[in-house]
Structure 1
């Protein structure tokens, strides 16, 4: 697969992962929560490594991540923040600490900002990884990430509390490295090969049975040291290989629909906590609630994407190209 060629199968995987972010924030059966939280957030970091291509300077990386993550983050923060502040003032519950949390970011943010921590962590991780790989400091990169991983196990609350979730972004460098290493060194497997399905099946049984605790990276919960990481990495590899084998013509209606949904993923991640905050999901039975929230969000961001200006500011679009989540690296 060439880096310049769109792979609609992996766009479909992004769409699935974004939907599971909504589901994970919407309650539901504990077994579903434990399964989803084993891999759905690590997958985005894994895919950043999977698509990593050398040669881009740190300055170029910063510009790219600013366009696809940083700029939408600021714009969504201002828009949602204004709504939140007005609502709190009307209820006479506004506090100075609430404004400070908006600036601090990371795990300090709850609804309607639940997913902002992830975007800032991805932004930080992408920049640090690019610096390490392009400056031939890969070993140092892994050592620093492993050190932060151990710190998260020992002091999860303190690592998670770092501004912008920078601490968990450093931890997630391990998933980016795992994605790149898997793409370069693990033998390819076909869709019908049992290996990817075993890589997904074994961790799934461990999470569902309770043998492995679920991850909650926002709050520094890394599960069982090493084993939870390896299980998540194996699942990410298996599902990425499975979806990469899907042959969907990018020029077909299905391919166009999948690409459009993938383009709007950034907006769905930012917008869905607002609908959860106003109670849309809780007013409906599960799983209808998260499904309705997802559909409403995707319709809204798809309409926004039709405007070049809104696409530019809300979804990371530039010169007709959209801000995928995560973008090809």
Structure 2
């Protein structure tokens, strides 16, 4: 069978995780946290263009063709849906307790969080990303049955809508209406997988340099996908893809330079990722971090969730809070990240 989005010849027998790509995931999550600590122009320019798009590109890059739609739904529910629901309930309980004690929780906070997507604010700041990634993966699996042109058409139409009516694409529950536009990055990841056998490591460096160059020259407006802002028309998405592609290829090149022990630590830290994404804004809420941010706030929002998740993923609570458990079959939110050339089970 040769479906339009089938695997390329680069997918072979299963191999080990790519420590380099796992490290990239860790850096990306840290950037997401930093983006919730600071909102100044320098932070936005340096990380907003790539810190969320890279995870959608990775979804496409490590996509496993042919999985049944029901299997995809079950997998995403296990790795994304369950932690989403559990952390939502934990944070709602914290809000209710705080409101009972102080009465200072803003009216509508819990209702907005339940609606999700753009409406959800601190301590639910990053929940939109998890729900959109979940829906995008399931949608992409459904679109897999059609020629690739259909998926590209859906993505391009969604992107045009985001440029023309950002208020509309951000109005959907759980960020639903953002999904078509975000599929552009997933498709870019699939394209990268097909082109990879012909791309030397220098192509990754060139891609990253061009993307960063666009940012430094001010040719691209910063992206903010949660707000439905995909940057400057065409150039915004192109810049995000170029930087993401460059980071992925360079990350893969790190594999042979990372030792076995370091790889294990990196893999475990990456496995904590979904718990950190969903819980870090709770730390910022407790600290009442201002928009101007603070180094202490950043350190706390990184160290506390990661340390907690590091312990949890070795316990029966791992699948509930992190979507994975060390030694189990479940994986972190973005799935297994194999070494270059190996098959994967995203």
Q: Give the TM-score normalised by structure 2.
A: 0.87
Query: 1:262·1:325 contact (CA, 8 Å) conserved in 2?
Result: no
CA distance in 2, matches of 1:217, 1:82: 28
Deviations 1:154-197 (A, max 9, x none): 11122112100011122111100110111112454444x2x222
CA distance in 2, matches of 1:142, 1:293: 37
Aligned partner of 2:314 in structure 1 is 306
Q: Could you tell me how far 1:137 is from its partner in structure 2? A: 4.1
Cα pair distance change 1:72/1:13, threshold 3 Å: same
CA distance in 2, matches of 1:98, 1:249: 46
Q: What root-mean-square deviation, in Å, do the aligned CA atoms of Structure 1 and Structure 2 show?
A: 2.3
Query: 1:249·1:255 contact (CA, 8 Å) conserved in 2?
Result: no
- Given candidates 75, 78, 100, the residue that maps to 1:64 is 75
Query: 2:39·2:291 contact (CA, 8 Å) conserved in 1?
Result: no
Aligned partner of 2:205 in structure 1 is 197
Q: Could you tell me how far 1:208 is from its partner in structure 2? A: 3.6
CA distance in 2, matches of 1:8, 1:247: 6
2:229 matched to 1:221?
A: yes
CA distance in 2, matches of 1:93, 1:293: 22
Aligned partner of 2:167 in structure 1 is 157
Query: 1:248·1:255 contact (CA, 8 Å) conserved in 2?
Result: no
- Given candidates 147, 159, 174, the residue that maps to 2:184 is 174
Q: Could you tell me how far 1:283 is from its partner in structure 2? A: 12
Question: Larger deviation: 78-87 or 108-117?
Answer: 78-87
Cα pair distance change 1:285/1:315, threshold 3 Å: closer
Aligned partner of 1:113 in structure 2 is 124
- The SS at the match of 2:146 is coil
Q: Could you tell me how far 1:325 is from its partner in structure 2? A: 3.1
CA distance in 1, matches of 2:13, 2:230: 31
Cα pair distance change 1:21/1:287, threshold 3 Å: same
Question: Larger deviation: 56-65 or 288-297?
Answer: 288-297
- Given candidates 85, 99, 122, the residue that maps to 1:74 is 85
1:265-276 equivalences under 5 Å are 265-276=273-284
Query: 1:106·1:116 contact (CA, 8 Å) conserved in 2?
Result: yes
Query: 1:49·1:176 contact (CA, 8 Å) conserved in 2?
Result: yes
1:105-144 equivalences under 5 Å are 105-133=116-144, 135-144=145-154
Question: Larger deviation: 203-212 or 173-182?
Answer: 203-212
- The SS at the match of 2:108 is helix
Cα pair distance change 1:289/1:251, threshold 3 Å: same
Aligned partner of 2:324 in structure 1 is 317
2:28 matched to 1:17?
A: yes
Aligned partner of 1:54 in structure 2 is 65
Aligned partner of 2:343 in structure 1 is none
Equivalent pairs counted in the alignment come to 325
- The SS at the match of 1:278 is helix
- Given candidates 25, 39, 47, the residue that maps to 2:50 is 39
Q: Could you tell me how far 1:297 is from its partner in structure 2? A: 1.5
CA distance in 1, matches of 2:190, 2:243: 15
Q: Could you tell me how far 1:99 is from its partner in structure 2? A: 3.2
Q: Could you tell me how far 1:8 is from its partner in structure 2? A: 1.4
- Given candidates 309, 315, 335, the residue that maps to 1:327 is 335
- Provide structure 1 residue ranges, at least 5 long, that are not aligned to the other structure: none
- The SS at the match of 2:191 is helix
- Provide structure 2 residue ranges, at least 5 long, that are not aligned to the other structure: 1-10, 337-345
Query: 1:281·1:292 contact (CA, 8 Å) conserved in 2?
Result: no
